[in-house]
Structure formats: structure tokens, C-alpha cells
């Protein structure tokens, strides 16, 4: 059963459940439909720190396994510019931009700006399509900011999905695997399910969960 909007979902649900539950089903349908279309499970940056921790952890994992590797060696400004242009012009990045939905879609022609950040901030992706970086940068910082520029404002499912694709292409599949495992260990999702329960299945699930909760009261 498919609906075109939440009103349709409510009307179908109200035939087999109370007004209160029909409203809850319509809200469920609306949120799930938005998630499927946008690839974003929520519109707050609630996963930011956990995502950062997973990224730092993956880099540590790599450096422990390959202590003599130069993969994350700091880049000077000239090297950063070269790396930036390489990713910006790549088919991988351009395709990620094209896959975004809405007015805040990917920035296919980003620019690079030098910034003097204070504290731990290493980079920033702006809403107008500029990447702002310190004079000395880690390659992963640039990859991270490109995952924002291709259309992901927050550190959500869409961001993690795209940063894995960019990491695989520009930092190698082995590192991308380490990063994916870190996301998994932190219980950070990288995909969104595209199934929306019917009113019948939804109310069955709700009733079942209520029975379980009542047993523990």
C-alpha cells in the first residue's frame, strides 16, 4: 500500500485504529518517507561527535597497522590545493553531488579558501560551496569536507555513506573498510531502509511493543 501524503496515510490508518494512533501512524509515515527521499534519518547533527570519534579511530587503526605509511601525512597549502582539485573534478565527487535532493544539493564547482581557525577546527564546508582549510592539512580532513560539500549538512547517514565512497576512492578500500567498521562499532548507520510499514503492520508492531513494556512495569 502506497500513499502520496500523510493525509492519505492517516485516512487509511483511521479505518482500523483510533484517532490517536492514526495520527501517530501518519507521523511515522511522513518521517520515514522523508528519510527515504533524503537519506537523512534526522535533521539535527546528533551524530556529530560519534562520527568524529569513529573517524579518528579509523586513522589510528591505520597508523598502528602501517606505522611507516604516509597516507595521512600533513599537506602544505600547495599540496592541499592539488588534492582539492583532484577530488573536486573527479567523477566520484560529481556523481555524489548529482545524487543529492533539494535546494541544498551538492556543490559541483567548489572553491578553496585559506582560514585561520582557532582550537581544534581543521576545516569547514560552507553553504555557498567553499571549503575553508588551515594552511597545513591532513588528507582526511579534505575528504571529510568534500562529504559535506556534496550535499550533507550534518554528520548523518548520508554524510557517512558519502565519506565512505570518497575514502574508498581517494584513500583506498582498506582504509574505507576500517572506517566502515568503526561506524558499525559505534552503531552509526550508513544506509536507510526503504520499507514503510502498512497501517496493519505498524499497529501490530505498536501493540506488541506495548505488551512487552507492560510486562516490565
In whole angstroms, give the CA distance from residue 60 to residue 182. Answer: 11
Whether the predicted pLDDT of 91 surpasses 90: yes
Could you write out the DSSP letters of every residue in 33-93? HHHHHHS-S-SS-TTHHHHHHHHHHHHHHHHHH-TT--TT--B-HHHHHHHHHHHHTSHHH
Dist CA 8 CA 31 (whole Å)? 14
Query: Is a pLDDT exceeding 90 seen at residue 96?
Result: yes
User: Of 10-14, 37-41, 70-74, where does mean pLDDT reach its minimum?
Assistant: 37-41
pLDDT of residue 42: 53
Higher pLDDT, 146 or 5: 146
pLDDT single digits (tens) 190-215:
887 677 889 898 898 988 888 887 77
What is residue 69's predicted lDDT score, i.e. its pLDDT? 96
pTM above 0.85, yes or no: no
Contact 131, 123 (CB under 8 A): yes
pLDDT digits (tens, 9 = 90+) for 153-183: 899 888 999 999 999 999 999 999 999 999 9
Average pLDDT over residues 116-130: 90
- pLDDT-derived band at 78 (thresholds 50, 70, 90) equals very high
Which of 33 and 127 is assigned the larger pLDDT? 127
- The overall average pLDDT reported for the chain is 89
State the DSSP H helix or E strand holding residue 114, giving kind and residue range, or none if neither.
strand 111-114
The CB-side HSE value for 212 (13 A sphere, CA atoms) comes to 6
Q: Output the nine-digit C-alpha cell for 214.
A: 507492560
Question: Is 181 in a helix, a strand, or coil?
Answer: helix
Per-residue pLDDT for 10 more than 50? Answer: yes
Alpha-helix residue ranges (DSSP H) falling in the chain: 6-13, 19-38, 48-65, 77-88, 91-98, 139-149, 157-170, 173-185, 199-215
Is residue 105's pLDDT more than 70?
Answer: no
Confidence of residue 38 (pLDDT cuts 50, 70, 90): low
pLDDT value for 103: 44
Amino acid at each position: 500500500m502506497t500513499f502520496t501524503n500523510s493525509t492519505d496515510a492517516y485516512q487509511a490508518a483511521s479505518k482500523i485504529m483510533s484517532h490517536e494512533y492514526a495520527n501517530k501512524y501518519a507521523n511515522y509515515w511522513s518521517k520515514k518517507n522523508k528519510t527515504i527521499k533524503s537519506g537523512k534519518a534526522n535533521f539535527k547533527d546528533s551524530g556529530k561527535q560519534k562520527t568524529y570519534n569513529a573517524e579518528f579511530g579509523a586513522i589510528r587503526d591505520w597508523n598502528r597497522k602501517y606505522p611507516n605509511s604516509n597516507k595521512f601525512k600533513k599537506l602544505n597549502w600547495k599540496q592541499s590545493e592539488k588534492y582539492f582539485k583532484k577530488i573536486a573534478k573527479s567523477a566520484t565527487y560529481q556523481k555524489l553531488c548529482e545524487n543529492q535532493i533539494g535546494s541544498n544539493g551538492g556543490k559541483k564547482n567548489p572553491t578553496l579558501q585559506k582560514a585561520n581557525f582557532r582550537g581544534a577546527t581543521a576545516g569547514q564546508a560552507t553553504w555557498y560551496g567553499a571549503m575553508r582549510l588551515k594552511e597545513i592539512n591532513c588528507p582526511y580532513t579534505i575528504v571529510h569536507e568534500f562529504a559535506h560539500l556534496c550535499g550533507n549538512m550534518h554528520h548523518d547517514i548520508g554524510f557517512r555513506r558519502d565519506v565512505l565512497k570518497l575514502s574508498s576512492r581517494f584513500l583506498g578500500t582498506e582504509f574505507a573498510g576500517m572506517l566502515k567498521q568503526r561506524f558499525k562499532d559505534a552503531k552509526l548507520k550508513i544506509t536507510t531502509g526503504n520499507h514503510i510499514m502498512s497501517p496493519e503492520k505498524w499497529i501490530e508492531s505498536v501493540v506488541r511493543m506495548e505488551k512487552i513494556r507492560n510486562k516490565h512495569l
